[in-house]
Amino acid sequence: MQEQYRTVARAGVHETEINRSRFICALAPAVTEEEAQDFVARVRREHPTATHNCFAYVIGADASVQKASDDGEPGGTAGVPMLQMLTRREMRYVVAVVTRYYGGVKLGAGGLIRAYGGVVGEALDELGTVTRRRFRLATITVGHQRAGKLENDLRATGRTVREVRYAEAVVIEIGLPDADVESFRGWLADATAGEAELELGGEAYGDA
């Protein structure tokens, strides 16, 4: 399982003009292939008169799903360079759609490859990327009298506090790198005089 991956920080659009053709790159995070396809369909609906709506997406922390479409451009000149830009930047869980409005000047195969790949790279630069790291979900159960200080201590030491629930006891959900689990057990025992319980859950990805 991948220790970390990068994805686009937010959805957004970047436009450039090359030899009178408009190239509009729409980028978005996508957790599943279905989400990616829905995004492609939405962009196509927004640009029904465009000459081409080419797309590429990469799903999975290990890039297990990769798809690309030239949407009528010469084979390998649009979707593939878009996909190559995403994989070269180590992007995951991301979908890119490049809408082209033809401006009357042919770019040739090399020009198209540079244009489609280039506008995706520019969009990534403009929208920014974030790194997600793999961590272990963990649940701490502690009494009310210690909960407030413990929550503050967790945040002060840079722990990822995901949720706090108040009931008979207080349940604090956190994220821990696997390598930190044992040292965290010791820290938690010291911080709560051994009164807190720690239960490990599954794995997930979160902000680095």
Integer Cα distance of 63 and 32 in angstroms: 12
Alpha-carbon dihedral of residues 71, 73, 74, 77, nearest 10 degrees? -90
Domain boundaries, the chain: 4-127, 131-207
Per-residue pLDDT at 1: 58
Alpha-carbon dihedral of residues 200, 201, 202, 203, nearest 10 degrees? -50
At residue 178, does pLDDT exceed 80?
Answer: no
Backbone angles phi, psi at 168, to 5 degrees: -60, -40
* Cβ-proximal residues to 90 (8 Å cutoff; 6+ apart), any chain: 5, 6
The tens digit of pLDDT for each residue in 29-65 reads: 999 999 999 999 999 999 999 999 999 999 998 899 9
- Summarize the chain as % helix, strand, coil (round to 5): 35, 40, 25
Question: What crossing angle do the helices spanning 79-88 and 108-127 adopt, rounded to 10°?
Answer: 40
Per-residue pLDDT at 180: 85
Q: State both tokens at 129.
A: 């990327």
Per-residue pLDDT at 102: 96
Average pLDDT, the chain: 93
Domain 4-127: state its class.
Answer: alpha beta
Please state which CATH number belongs to domain 131-207.
3.30.70.240
Counting residues of the chain whose pLDDT is more than 90, the rounded percentage is 80
At residue 208, does pLDDT exceed 80?
Answer: no
Element (H, E) at 95: strand 94-101
Q: Print burial letters for 10-40: b (CB count within 10 Å at least 16), e (below 16).
A: eeebbeeebeebbbbbbbbbbeeeebbeebb
Per-residue pLDDT at 143: 94
At residue 199, does pLDDT exceed 60?
Answer: yes
Say yes or no: do domains 4-127 and 131-207 share a fold: no
The tens digit of pLDDT for each residue in 97-110 reads: 999 999 999 999 99
At residue 114, does pLDDT exceed 60?
Answer: yes
